[in-house]
Each structure stands twice: as structure tokens, then as C-alpha cells.
A and B are shown apart, each in its own frame.
Chain A
């Protein structure tokens, strides 16, 4: 898919960034310029049961540079996690998101931290988007105390309730009814906020999704179901799993929109549109056409059910970071070197954080018994040998 944006828009952009002097500070401030720039999405939106939003998206230099930096950070983080997993510092499951970064950053650009997001197990970047720190990510992946779940959750169980990120769920599809429940609570409390419940093309066939969608439509819940269609449910291609892989249409009476999930601006536009819709008219489905470079998880090479040519082809033609890079360069918002410096900076930040995370200790043995309940009532709990190990739950 070729990048197509209006060249003429560059005449409206402002040349903000002068070439840097030789005394380059270690941390470069991101441009604070919010002069509007209009960019066209790669492709128009396809809609179901609604009018599609315009493919002209308003953005600005600050936003584009933030997109670039955030996605570069997420990309680097996931690649570093791959290495940590191979070094056996991360155990169990590790589902990486590289390739799909545009969905996380585009969504955040359209919403507030009062809106809720819930996703499945491919949650590292979504957590970062919600304001989670790199340290919390790496420490949690390595099962350390500094982790966002204090080492007790692992890769699939990241949460950040104070910015309305509700995880982090290991059971495919379960997060969709849960997300509709978040929307229920938002409507019940008259918050005027919405919930984005993310799921994959594999989860899109789950019965509970349709049960929750039915109730959401009946009760007009402000629920936005976001199908991150990366075209493979583990090793099963979408055409082998779904009779109708037009996921944005699967809501039947619920409107839907198909979005280029590799275009952060298209994602932003769609999420903005969806939020307005959901607050007025109830549920809507967004299908993000995206792609994961890694296999399903670290135990899946990802090349037995798809060709290497396909993977490299997407990387060449549709990579979300490259799209934003080209946009920034064509609008003269930064030089190539400046962008490369951002990437170097991000890489260093990731490496430094990993070093820091490695120093975080593993949880104390007593943590085995904490948080079983919010209110333990002084009840007894037991270890493997109950005559040896017992604890009172606080």
C-alpha cells in the first residue's frame, strides 16, 4: 500500500526546526508547535451502517513527533523483550506488539485518561500508551517487585487503574464483555466517557462477544469494540477461522468502520469518530487492519503459516513508524538525523531501564499470600505443605 498524502499540504507547514548546533544536548525536547497540519489517511474509511468520517485528519508537528517517539519506544521495547525472553529472563508467555504500534498511539491521541481501555494479552504497548512506564513493563516481565503488578501478573496481566487501563487478560474474548461492563459503569455514573475494548481477529468469533454486543446495543452502552485484525489468530489465518472476515460488519445492526491500522492518523480519526458516536448512539465496531511482525508469541516463529515475503512486504510498504517518519520529513518538521537521534535516545532509554529493572528484586516469599482478597478477614491460607507454610490473609 503506497503512502499517499497531499504534497500540497507541505506548503502550509511551518519550518520550525532549524538544523541543530554541534553541541547537541542529550535529551532533545520534542517540538511544542501545535500549528495545524491536515493529512489524508492512506485509504478512505469503509463503513457499515454509518457515514464514514472524512479521510482528512488534523494533526500538528507536536503530535507527529510524539507519535514517532512513542512508536519508536514501543518498537524498541518489544524487540528488547524478545532478547530478554531468549535470554530466559522473561518466562512463560510473551506476546509482542511490534507492527501494531499505530493502534495504541492513534487511540491515545483521540481520547482522555478518563476513557477506559481494555485489551487481551498483547498488552505491553497499550499499557505504555496509557501512561505506564518502561520500568514497570520490564520489571513485570521479569517478575520483579518494580513491575506494574509487583511481579505477580506477568506479561498478560498489566493494569493501570488510575489511568483507566483495565488489563491485560489471558482468556481470549473475555475482555470484550468486561469492556462492555466498563462502559455500563460509565453510563451508570453519567461520566460522558467511553470504553475501547480491543480484541483480535481470532477472538472476533467468540460467542460472548456477540452476547455483550447485543446487551450493549440494547442498553445503549458507550462501548467501542476494536478488532485489531492482524489477520492471524495464532497460526490460523482469518479466512480459515471466519466465514465472514469483514469484522467491521459482524455487528450486524451495530455500525462499523474499517480502518488502516498501520496509519496512526487514521486510527486517531476513527477513534475520535467512534467516541462521538458511542456517546450518542451506543456501540460501534472499529476494525483496525494491522499486522504483527512477530509470531503469535515467543514460542511461535511466525513463519510457518505466512511467508517471509509477506512479512517483509508489510514492513516495506506499511510500517507505521516509517509512515510517520516520511510525513515528518516531507513536512520538514525534523531532519533525518534528528529522527535517528530520537531512535538512538529511545534505544538508550530502553537499555538503561532494562539494567534498572534487572536490579529490582523478586517479590518476598510472603507476597505469595497477599492480594488473594481485598479483605482477607484474617483467614488462613496454606502453602504446598500446610504443616510447614501457613499464612493469615490480612
Chain B
């Protein structure tokens, strides 16, 4: 029997001792681990290998191995015709990628961060999302726009916005937000295989995080369904919806709440459009209380849509008003203390959950 410490060490060293498959097998009780970065890289690799029409385009994706090393090794493996370094011209290369998709190829466009996607947003919305509809089905656009979204650490106002709500409001787009490595692999593969334009919102701070992955997840045919949320933690007392980095925060909040006798159910949305309203509503009908957690700006955010959906579908089941935890309603500041106030913290989710359970902590005690 392996001790916990040895299991952890083995997990870390697995990444270095790749060929030692037999080692993995004999320690079958220890899970394999994979960083989100490797999950994305392997998904890209496998999909490019399986389908000649898939190609990758973006700034620094080739020779630089990817600004965040997501595309490491792909140029060497697939060559410059399929892994293309672009000039810093988002409108131009996003438009070129959409045109290539019109003609039957399957582009994966990397935005160094989604903040720069605003330069290309006309092509994402008007050239990609709406084309199948306007052409009554003649022009489908099998494209994926991917890259880091939301706040990183100390990058300031122009580099920290979350675009989930903006893109998810647009019919014709699909918007995915992976959290774990399993999410990253399964959703990116699904996105590349999907015949519609997909906005794939990653998170820079999650790239280095390691998650356990099963053999099924590691298989090259692994794929997750688009439009289905995952219940990361089953609970009875309150539902917490989250996506991307906030899922980690929600799970930590759930551990803290458990000590206070509040059993939280954490839903990892995975897909913002289509939004899995039925899973969310089923959960709220069980727990009767809802906290929505997101990193982005609060007004017209993802939480607003979830709240509206629950009020429409499950009003009678709510025992407390829906609570929204979101980024502060300000451009992202640089100073570390202000940045901390601008992004939701675990304690914000805990506090909101307690409010929803009518177990607020008095202000005096918070000091």
C-alpha cells in the first residue's frame, strides 16, 4: 500500500517518466495527473493528427511554442503549413481563418488573450456566428477561437476582462469554459469536432494546475458533450454554479461551508452557451438556494442569466433570493490589494452561501 506522500511524488514524476507505462499500471490505485496545459496540448495534437483539415493559427503558436506553451511541439510535428505564426493583426487573421472555415477547413485560432479578440470581434460574430443562419444552412463555420480569458495576476485593466457573457449572448456561437484537465481535453476535442463556431475560454492561472485524469480521459477518442454541466460536488443545502477558475474557489468554499454544517452542491458549468439550464434548475429544486459565481463584470453577466432562468423555471422552489458573486464593477486595478478586492475570493462565496442559508456572519465578527 502506498502512503499519500509517495502517491503524490509518483504523480509528479509520472510527467517525467512517460515511457514507464508498466510503472503506472502496477500502481493502479494512484491516479494519473495532467496539467491543463498538457491537456490542451494533447487534445490539439490528437485532433490535428486525426483530421488533416485541422490547423492552428495565432501569434507565437509556432516557433515560440505558444505564448503560454499550449502549442508546444506542434510546429515540429505538423510543419509550418498547419501551425501558422501570424503577424499581430487579429482582425486580419481571424477573418482569414473564418474564410478558410467557409471553404471547408477546420481552423483553431489562438488569441493570445481574449482581450485581443475584441479587435476581431466582427469576424467572430458577423462573419462566423451568423453565417449559417443568414445562408439558410449553406455556410457552416467549423472554427474554434481559443485562448486565455479573464484575470491573470497583476496584468491590469486592458488584459483582464472576462468575455463569457458577451460571446454567450450571441446565437450561433457555442461558448465553452473548461476548468479541469478532463474538461480541457474533452471540451477542446468536442469544440474542434463541432461544425459550428466555438469560443473556447481558457484561464491562464489554470494552465499550470494539475488534475487527476482517468484512462478514459487520456484516450484519443475522449470527448465531452457540449452543453452539459458537471456536478463536481453533490450537496443538499445550497447550489453554487461556477465556471473556469471559480470552480476551484467554489470547491474550496464548499469545504469551508461543510465545517459549518452547510452541504454545498457545486456545478461546473463547462458550457456557457448552450447553458445547461436543466441541470442548474434540477439542482436548485433540490437545494432551494443558489449562488452564482463568476469572475467577470456583474452587470449582464452569466450569473444574471442563470438567476433569470431559475426565477422563470423554479421560482416556487427558491427559499432565498439568488446571490451573485462576480468581479467588482470596476476596470481591473493593478495594485495587489485592489486586485484582490476586484476578483471574487473564496470567502465571498462562503459569505454569500451563508446569507442564502440565513446564517449570515455579523459584520463585527468578520474583523
Instruction: Choose among B96, B138, B172, B312 the residue with the greatest number of A CB atoms under 10 Å from its CB.
Output: B96
B139 and A161 within 8 A (CB): yes
- In angstroms, how far is the closest chain A Cβ from the Cβ of B134? 4
- In angstroms, how far is the closest chain A Cβ from the Cβ of B326? 24
A185 and B138 within 8 A (CB): no
Q: Given that A188-B55, A374-B195 are contacting pairs, would A150 and B99 also be in contact in the complex, using a CB cutoff of 8 Å?
A: no
Scan B132-147; emit 1 where CB is below 8 A from any A CB, else 0: 1111111110100000
Instruction: Judge whether A267 is part of the interface by a CB distance below 8 angstroms.
Output: no
Instruction: Judge whether A258 is part of the interface by a CB distance below 8 angstroms.
Output: no
A377 and B312 within 8 A (CB): no
Give chain B residues whose Cβ lies under 8 Å from the Cβ of A160: 138
- Give the docked Cα–Cα distance between A354 and B343 (Å): 60
B136 and A150 within 8 A (CB): yes
Scan B230-245; emit 1 where CB is below 8 A from any A CB, else 0: 0000000000000000
Stretch in A36-44, A175-183, A239-247, A344-352 with 4+ CB within 8 Å of B: A175-183
B136 and A149 within 8 A (CB): yes
Closest-by-CB residue of A relative to B105 is A185
* CB-contacts of A273-296 with B (<8 A): none
Q: Given that A152-B136, A181-B98 are contacting pairs, would A211 and B312 also be in contact in the complex, using a CB cutoff of 8 Å?
A: no
Closest-by-CB residue of A relative to B90 is A211
A214 and B135 within 8 A (CB): no
A177 and B94 within 8 A (CB): yes
- Give the docked Cα–Cα distance between A218 and B104 (Å): 22
A180 and B134 within 8 A (CB): no
Size of interface on A: residues with Cβ below 8 Å to B? 52
Instruction: Judge whether B95 is part of the interface by a CB distance below 8 angstroms.
Output: yes
Give chain B residues whose Cβ lies under 8 Å from the Cβ of A214: 87, 89, 92
Scan B85-110; emit 1 where CB is below 8 A from any A CB, else 0: 01101011111111111111100000
A208 and B91 within 8 A (CB): yes
Stretch in B58-66, B120-128, B260-268 with 4+ CB within 8 Å of A: B120-128
- Give the docked Cα–Cα distance between A168 and B91 (Å): 19
B134 and A386 within 8 A (CB): no
Give chain B residues whose Cβ lies under 8 Å from the Cβ of A67: none
- Give the docked Cα–Cα distance between A180 and B140 (Å): 18
Give chain B residues whose Cβ lies under 8 Å from the Cβ of A168: 134-135
Q: Given that A177-B94, A177-B99 are contacting pairs, would A188 and B132 also be in contact in the complex, using a CB cutoff of 8 Å?
A: no
Give chain A residues whose Cβ lies under 8 Å from the Cβ of B227: 377, 379
Scan A193-216; emit 1 where CB is below 8 A from any B CB, else 0: 000000000000001101110110
A153 and B122 within 8 A (CB): no
B132 and A374 within 8 A (CB): yes
A374 and B99 within 8 A (CB): no
Give chain B residues whose Cβ lies under 8 Å from the Cβ of A372: 132-133, 171-172
- Give the docked Cα–Cα distance between A387 and B312 (Å): 9
Instruction: Judge whether B354 is part of the interface by a CB distance below 8 angstroms.
Output: no
Closest-by-CB residue of B relative to A156 is B134
B93 and A211 within 8 A (CB): yes
Instruction: Judge whether B285 is part of the interface by a CB distance below 8 angstroms.
Output: no
Instruction: Judge whether A171 is part of the interface by a CB distance below 8 angstroms.
Output: yes
Instruction: Judge whether B81 is part of the interface by a CB distance below 8 angstroms.
Output: yes
Known: A152-B136, A375-B195. 8 other contacts (CB 8 A): A153-B134, A166-B99, A180-B92, A185-B102, A211-B92, A214-B89, A215-B96, A373-B174
Instruction: Give 30 pairs: A residue, B residue, CB < 8 Å, sorted on A.
Output: A149-B136, A149-B138, A153-B135, A159-B134, A167-B139, A171-B122, A171-B126, A171-B127, A177-B93, A178-B127, A182-B100, A184-B105, A185-B100, A185-B105, A186-B103, A210-B92, A211-B93, A212-B92, A214-B89, A219-B84, A371-B133, A371-B135, A371-B137, A372-B133, A372-B171, A373-B196, A374-B137, A375-B194, A375-B195, A379-B274
A contact residues vs B (CB 8 Å cutoff) = 116, 118, 149-153, 157, 159-161, 166-171, 174, 176-186, 188-189, 207-208, 210-212, 214-215, 218-219, 370-375, 377, 379-381, 386-387
